Amino acid sequence: MSRKPTQIDPQEVDAYVARCRAQATAPRVSEFADELGISRVTLNHRFQEKTGRSLSEYFAAQRVMAATALLVESDLRTEDVAVKAGFGTPRNFHRAFARRLGVSPGRYRTMNKMPGN
């Protein structure tokens, strides 16, 4: 992308997150800023102005949201969920998931898995 945006388009952010998820990589503020041709600081500032939270917080929430869906809707091992949701390692996944939701990924799956899934 060659233009330098003056506003951050939430759909553009979500498209970037989706590309990362498809590649099983974690979204990174620096990488997204490079794509947009602006600095990390400028990107974070504009995103925070628009949404009230940092882009890093948003990316973390998106990873957890993807993981919750995978845990409930699939039979993937938690290690595979960690990779697919962009956490990198199972340890990072377990720690971040438990911090945000207050339960381990395995416990979350047990509590929320629908019969037949």
Topology of the domain covering 10-112: Arc Repressor Mutant, subunit A (1.10.10)
pLDDT in the model for residue 4: 63
State the Cα–Cα distance between residues 21 and 44, nearest whole angstrom.
Answer: 20
22 with 14: CB under 8 angstroms?
no
Give pTM, 2 decimals. 0.84
Instruction: List the structure tokens of 28.
Output: 């990174």
State the alpha helices, DSSP H only, in the chain.
Answer: 10-22, 29-36, 40-51, 55-73, 78-84, 90-101, 105-112
State the Cα–Cα distance between residues 62 and 65, nearest whole angstrom.
Answer: 5
Q: Where are the domains of the chain?
A: 10-112
Residues of the chain with pLDDT under 50: 1-2
pLDDT in the model for residue 1: 45
pLDDT in the model for residue 8: 85
